Amino acid sequence: MPGGTGTSTIGVWRASLGEQAVVIKRLAVPGPHDPRELSDPRHFAYWRREADVATYGLLDHAPGVRLTPTAVEEDAEGITLTSEWVEDAANAGLFIVHALGRFAGADLAHVRWLARNQLRDRLARVESRGGWATLERTTVADVAHELWRRREAFLDELDALPQVAQHGDPTPANLPGRDGDLLVALDWACLGYGAAGADLGLYLLPAREEFEPLLDAYLLGLPEGVATRAEVTRAAQITAVYTALTRAEWALARVAGGEGALVSKFRHPAVAPHLRALQRQFAAIEALLG
């Protein structure tokens, strides 16, 4: 199955135990030559966070969401996770972000292995690879250059906003199920804290709905007094813009070395979805750059 691309993820498989459909995921213990971030409990890429979520019980009564029952088997070489298969409930985006807003009110305490500074760490990874070099060859070069130059200021602004519980990777594939008024969510490998609205910003990229109704739904779920509409909007804009640019850079860089001009590859099936997601953030880009 898709989802086996993480540095510590060996693979993901659909299988059956008797008549029960399950998903099996295998994680590998980081080796001496793997990036040190995989062993950092606060980094979004921490290798064993998903297993810790399954066994710790931290989210057993979390508002807005429900985890799938997961068995965890650990050995010297890694961890095997076996979870119940979740049928796709075709959840509407408004239901999903409302649930994410409710989840933002969860009390995760100060567990040491919760992810923090996710966007900052992701941009640090991009910086180590040369920044958004491929985007500098496109029509968004000037905008990308200015946003990259000002990234620290925006990251500091994000850090100063109210910090709440966040899923960290709220893609439609990770949010497939529904149990009454609860969202059944998968892949909690990036669980941690982030600015109120950051999960909304991440969900905006693949969403079919427009920003304003999604913002309204998120705010309806968010507990009163946690963050203002302006604060949630700002967090969503910063997160969405920097994530969209980073994903567009990643997609373009993968095909840039092939034959033909870079512009001819904008319609490549591995690139076009990321460029469309970026185009949808132009209003947010204007808001950030004033």
3-state secondary structure of 134: coil
Phi/psi at 62 (5° precision): -70, 140
Name the token pair of 55: 């066994």
Q: How confident is the model at residue 270 (pLDDT cuts 50, 70, 90)?
A: very high
Question: What amino acid is encoded at 125 in this protein?
Answer: R
Residue 4 has pLDDT above 60, yes or no: no
Q: Which of 260, 290, 281, 256 is nearest to 270 (CA)?
A: 256
pLDDT averaged over every residue in the chain:
95
d(CA 124, CA 118): 10
Q: What is the pTM of this model?
A: 0.94
For the segment 144-168, the average pLDDT, to the nearest whole number, is 98
For residue 283, the model assigns a pLDDT of 97
141-149 helix and 229-255 helix, angle to the nearest 10 degrees: 120
Q: How confident is the model at residue 257 (pLDDT cuts 50, 70, 90)?
A: confident
From residue 82, alpha-carbon distances to 16, 21, 24 in Å are: 10, 10, 5
For residue 7, the model assigns a pLDDT of 74
For the segment 101-113, the average pLDDT, to the nearest whole number, is 94
Residue 251 has pLDDT above 70, yes or no: yes
3-state secondary structure of 253: helix
Name the token pair of 177: 């199920």
Ramachandran region, residue 247 (left: φ > 0; alpha: ψ -120 to 50; beta: rest):
alpha
For the segment 113-117, the average pLDDT, to the nearest whole number, is 96
Q: β-strand 182-184 against 78-84: which pairing, if any?
A: unpaired
Q: How confident is the model at residue 3 (pLDDT cuts 50, 70, 90)?
A: low
Q: How confident is the model at residue 6 (pLDDT cuts 50, 70, 90)?
A: low
What is the maximum alpha-carbon separation in the chain?
59
Environment class of 102 (CB within 10 Å of its CB; exposed 0-12, middle 13-18, buried 19+): buried
Residue 2 has pLDDT above 80, yes or no: no
Residue 173 has pLDDT above 90, yes or no: yes
Environment class of 125 (CB within 10 Å of its CB; exposed 0-12, middle 13-18, buried 19+): middle
| Of 95 and 1, more confident | 95
For the segment 203-224, the average pLDDT, to the nearest whole number, is 97
d(CA 20, CA 162): 42
Residue 258 has pLDDT above 90, yes or no: no
Q: How confident is the model at residue 39 (pLDDT cuts 50, 70, 90)?
A: very high
Q: How confident is the model at residue 263 (pLDDT cuts 50, 70, 90)?
A: confident
For residue 261, the model assigns a pLDDT of 86
